[in-house]
Structure 1
């Protein structure tokens, strides 16, 4: 019996369409709904499953697709400096800028759904008057430097040649017999020393090299001078409230995992924060089902600010969470968008954790606590505050052998439970192995093996201390990892 031929004109039912959409990945669903407006309601009604959702100052990355918004400054008259030309290549300036091209280090008023993560560092704010004086001073210095370089070039070009027309081999002169008639033998002292010939040739080559270097320096000095003059003009216009040099655009850049780049530009008639909120709401707004996110991250640049603009009323089911800024404050602000605010995170990551954050229930209850490039906390004190925990430390403050020893001592004295695990990655193989030797020498009943130290504990437990190269990225050969783990005694 022949199979029935499907009717190509027959449409999927609403329920069937939702089942099909649920099988697609998030970014493909967004593209599909953009092209087919008639399926948008069904797409919004299907839960989203996202592996990794990371927000940063320049935009966000959803799974492996990057969404970026930035400001483009286009000079109206005259050549643009490379600083402004290069912006378009990197998606534009990630912060709002004023009409003179200077960044605005503050936020517009927060709206419902916004999560404040980190403010700008006020110490990095520029003093306009001081900046103008500095630019004028730099202009004078650079002008004098350019004059000196051009003078040096002229002097070098007109300097007399010490050795001219030296044959490749001065001992092999092609002279005819007639040329030799009448030439009296020279005294030995009158002959040119071969070393002197070589020195002369070196001087000729050295002068050519010097001219090349001077020409390169002149090109660089002229480029820098043009930038300073341009910057001085910007600053003067800002000080005197004169018309701007620029036209402005917001550039939207979407980069797909296969490297495909889509770019679109809009008039700069709203703040970047408002533009980002519009984009986020377009993709994630008006969704009743809870979005399931395996890993959610809010990451600000050092000294930079960050506000996460989410649709009002959105709910997220998050397993792993990481953030910049004051950890306890951010955890409190993110709580309203969590579907399960009291459920511990599988993994909690911070680059700014402080010792007082250790008392936060979400820090205490996180299955794994990760400190990434953290310079604000005493690791020993933290491990004492948060006992029997999986703690991963990546870079940040450098630990000395004695500090590694203190961690081991604390695990022995506090009777660490099975599963207590410390993983510390820092620079230097030698430092890590020195710490291993320190531990082996300062504790009793130690069993030494290659890259492994076993220390017996009470209650049929043992502490394994090991070291190895950083395996997450083998190209970072300068990084080494030490692991401390409480396990069952293997003899039992």
Structure 2
């Protein structure tokens, strides 16, 4: 059967409606049409950016260090686990010590995502003190194992205190787990021996790329001739670099821990939603730098509210709707809510220390300060608390009319304020997603037309 290649305009039309991950694969396999693919706007439903992982829709691209052990060497359980699940997420030097060469490197295009803590501690792992600590632990585990195997040369004491508790814990472990701990400490000590005698480690390092989707997982190994942060830069350059237009993204998510996103120069996103953002106040400038001005106002933002400054993101019309999850009880939340102009707000907090009087104050604020029709705030809540709030509002607000689960208050000729609660299950799936905790009820406060 004769086949004709797609013409340029037809190819562009096909690319526009093609899954982005298929586009990436085609560009990789057929470099001759890569330039055409870059011209066509890239549309992504969900984009998640991390330090060594980029996820596009349901497909993740993850980098790590794969250690290929020599045939005569036994790989430890820990090293095998890293190999099986994407590789070691840290660079290694020529002796096998973990190093962090890209920790503070900020190249053109990169975006720093600060946070008050780091999930990966950047500590020295090659000091004499660390080696002594490993040797002490090794002797401890070996003594426990000998005792478990019935050796008369070693005796575990019956003294009290933390050491005794630790001893009893490891005495209760299965033999194979003790042997695993011993193997892992031998692995920790190996770089010290290699450095001491100028030896090579018993493995060869490769950069491993793991591509995982719902239906399959594939890995590929590349020579370890660059650091992980350089490899991540190259990966994101391949995926997103050289595009003439901003990348259109429905939902954008960012790494939880502090990191540097290795992005192409000129990287821009035209986003609709930000999902599950941590440390929003600290990351405000970084987020804004990635977003095309056409993104604003964003359709919605959901974030974990640790600091009152996190709410400042919404002072300048950056979004019409937001969800604050796990609100810190020390935040004067209701004072903040009285100053916001967002159309829709969802509040999800666990075991909050807010009195029902706070809700009454918010109702009174809305009566005194006219809110646009369509404004709606939602709170995850317990049924008994919701019932008390409605009773309080009915008692203290003139003109309030109460039904079973609703209080209605006329606020001007054409509008009324409604305060009501409904079962969580009555919300659609997307609305339920906005609440982090498994509430049974939702209290809604909204302005509607008569």
The answer, yes or no, to whether TM exceeds 0.5 is yes
Contact 1:419–1:485 (CA under 8 A) maintained in structure 2: no
Aligned-residue Cα RMSD (Å) equals 3.7
What is the CA-CA distance between 1:278 and the residue it aligns to?
A: 1.0
Q: How does 1:18-29 map to 2 (within 5 A)?
A: 18-29=12-23
Q: 2:393 aligns with which of 443, 447, 454?
A: 443
Contact 2:73–2:202 (CA under 8 A) maintained in structure 1: no
What is the CA-CA distance between 1:237 and the residue it aligns to?
A: 5.3
Specify whether residues 247 and 457 from structure 1 end up closer, same or farther in structure 2 by C-alpha distance, changes over 3 A only.
farther
Gaps of 5+ in 1: 1-6, 154-213, 426-430
What is the CA-CA distance between 1:272 and the residue it aligns to?
A: 1.8
Classify the secondary structure of the residue corresponding to 2:15. helix
- Give a deviation string over 1:64-99, Cα, whole Å, max 9, x none: 221111122344563222111011221113344445
Specify whether residues 308 and 424 from structure 1 end up closer, same or farther in structure 2 by C-alpha distance, changes over 3 A only.
farther
What is the CA-CA distance between 1:332 and the residue it aligns to?
A: 2.2
Gaps of 5+ in 2: 153-170
Q: How does 1:237-316 map to 2 (within 5 A)?
A: 243-257=200-214, 259-300=215-256, 304-316=257-269
Work out the CA distance in 2 between the residues paired with 1:487 and 1:62. Answer: 38
Contact 1:100–1:245 (CA under 8 A) maintained in structure 2: no
Specify whether residues 361 and 32 from structure 1 end up closer, same or farther in structure 2 by C-alpha distance, changes over 3 A only.
same
Specify whether residues 266 and 373 from structure 1 end up closer, same or farther in structure 2 by C-alpha distance, changes over 3 A only.
farther
What is aligned with 1:102? 98
**TM-score, normalised via structure 1 length:** 0.71
Classify the secondary structure of the residue corresponding to 2:150. helix
What is aligned with 2:375? 420
Q: 1:13 aligns with which of 7, 11, 14?
A: 7
Q: 1:390 aligns with which of 340, 344, 348?
A: 344
Contact 2:320–2:343 (CA under 8 A) maintained in structure 1: yes
Work out the CA distance in 2 between the residues paired with 1:91 and 1:83. Answer: 13
Work out the CA distance in 1 between the residues paired with 2:207 and 2:116. Answer: 22
Contact 1:101–1:246 (CA under 8 A) maintained in structure 2: no
1:50 aligns with 2:39: no
**TM-score, normalised via structure 2 length:** 0.77
- Give a deviation string over 1:437-469, Cα, whole Å, max 9, x none: 44245333477766x343535334233232534
What is the CA-CA distance between 1:139 and the residue it aligns to?
A: 2.6
What is aligned with 1:140? 139
Contact 1:108–1:273 (CA under 8 A) maintained in structure 2: no
Work out the CA distance in 2 between the residues paired with 1:30 and 1:20. Answer: 14
What is the CA-CA distance between 1:102 and the residue it aligns to?
A: 3.0
Q: Count how many residue pairs are aligned between Structure 1 and Structure 2.
A: 412
Q: How does 1:78-477 map to 2 (within 5 A)?
A: 78-98=73-93, 99-102=95-98, 104=100, 107-118=103-114, 121=117, 124-126=121-123, 128=125, 131-151=130-150, 217-234=174-191, 243-257=200-214, 259-300=215-256, 304-322=257-275, 324=277, 326-340=279-293, 343-351=296-304, 354-360=307-313, 364-373=317-326, 375=328, 377-387=331-341, 389-395=343-349, 398-400=351-353, 402=355, 405-415=357-367, 417=371, 418-425=373-380, 432-445=382-395, 452-454=405-407, 456=409, 458-459=411-412, 460-469=415-424, 472=429
Work out the CA distance in 1 between the residues paired with 2:216 and 2:291. Answer: 33
